[in-house]
Amino acid sequence: MRRALIAAALLSLCWSPCSVAEQSHSCSGPQLGTWRLQSFKTRYLDTGETTEPFGAHPSGYLSYGPDCRMYAILAEQKRKPPAAIVPTDAEKIELFAGFVAYAGTYTIDGNTVTHHVDVSWNEAWTGTGQVRRFRIAGKVLYIESVPAKNFRDGRLSSSSLVWMKVE
């Protein structure tokens, strides 16, 4: 009987929504909190060309939690709303092209943060690790992606994002 109770207790731990390991895992540091996007620039490595893919004043938020979870949402400066509540196929394409969103967990190693993507606007990112270099100066977070194929055109590039702490 005692073995059955122990087995049942162990089984309930394995099937519970939050395992013991997840409960004890936490993140701390100056990255914690919500950040508002100030700028988003992409530099192409083949030509050195720099662009602002979402305009001079994009919108977005980035959040890092003490539970090591994160989310990022970026939107083009002047996204045009659809003509009706249900967008046409052409409107959907335009809206998708001007938007980035993903969420998952994060790990930090020195000045590198890796976003371990659980869910994404672009399924190609789901299950990947998005590696970023970062530094924080006061209430400003600077993030630079490591060189990789650009999600918009496939060219090798690196993006720089500037975020302001939301208080």
What does the block give as tokens for 9? Answer: 């207790």
Assess if residue 66 is contained within a domain: yes
Assess if residue 7 is contained within a domain: no
The domain spanning residue 142 has which CATH number?
2.40.128.490
Q: What are the tens digits of pLDDT across the range 74-86?
A: 999 989 999 999 9
Assess if residue 138 is contained within a domain: yes
Instruction: List the domain range (segments joined by +) for residue 49.
Output: 26-165
What does the block give as tokens for 157? Answer: 């590039």
pTM given for the model: 0.82
Q: What are the tens digits of pLDDT across the range 12-49?
A: 333 333 333 344 467 999 999 999 999 999 999 999 99
Assess if residue 102 is contained within a domain: yes
Assess if residue 9 is contained within a domain: no
Interstrand relation of 148-149 and 156-165 (parallel, antiparallel or unpaired)? antiparallel
Assess if residue 149 is contained within a domain: yes
Assess if residue 18 is contained within a domain: no
The pLDDT value given to residue 103:
98
Number of domain units in the chain: 1
Assess if residue 20 is contained within a domain: no
Q: Which amino acid belongs to residue 53? A: P
Q: What are the tens digits of pLDDT across the range 80-135?
A: 999 999 999 999 999 999 999 999 999 999 999 999 999 999 999 999 999 999 99
CA dihedral 57, 82, 154, 131 (to 10 degrees): 60
Spatial distance between the Cα atoms of 164 and 167, rounded to a whole number of angstroms? 9
